[in-house]
Amino acid sequence: MKTIHHGACLILTIILQTMIFNYINVFGVHPNLFLVAVIAIAIFGGRVQGMVCGMIFGLVFDLLTERMLGANMLALAAAGYIAGMIASGYYAAPPFYIFLTIGAAATAGVDLICMIPYTAGLEISVSLLYALKTVLIEAIMNGILVIPAVWCIKRTTKLLKIQNINTFR
């Protein structure tokens, strides 16, 4: 049942990213709904589900954006693992500012990981000011978007009566 749930989240993420969030521009920066969905799944599913969903969501994101194949896959897998590890340290549901912090920090980490191949001379050279602006704005947007994404994941798992979301069974 969780596989169907995560697959539906992936399809919904693809639709929302391509139809709505690609047209939301704040100083030329778009929010990354794939990363937001991975973080929301990792917060409730744990680090293993966050990592696996991060790999799958990142690969789909790489295929949709026609960027360097595998860069977002590895970055989102690392972000999902770390977000799940941080969230598992709380016995109850973490407060909302933890969601904001995880979203912003994961976005900054993913953006910096994905900029490494581009700054190595493979694609383009990125100026430091542009990189800081992009990372900061996207981190703020994704940090804010994590809160409704976490609520949606929590609500849909309750509606579908998914027990023990921390395992794949």
Amino acid 14: pLDDT: 94
- Chain-centroid distance of CA 62 in Å reads 13
Angle between helices 71-87 and 96-117 (to 10 degrees): 160
- In this prediction, residue 29 has a pLDDT band, given cuts at 50, 70 and 90, of confident
The pLDDT tens digits for 108-165 are: 888 878 777 666 655 555 567 777 788 888 888 988 999 899 889 888 888 888 766 6
- In this prediction, residue 97 has a pLDDT band, given cuts at 50, 70 and 90, of confident
- Chain-centroid distance of CA 108 in Å reads 11
Amino acid 70: pLDDT: 82
Q: How far is CA 89 from CA 43, 44, 85, 94, 104, in A?
A: 10, 12, 7, 9, 18
Residue 67, pLDDT > 80, answer: no
Q: How far is CA 161 from CA 88, 156, 164, in A?
A: 21, 8, 10
Amino acid 52: pLDDT: 94
Domains of the chain: 2-159 (1.10.1760.20)
Average pLDDT for 64-83: 87
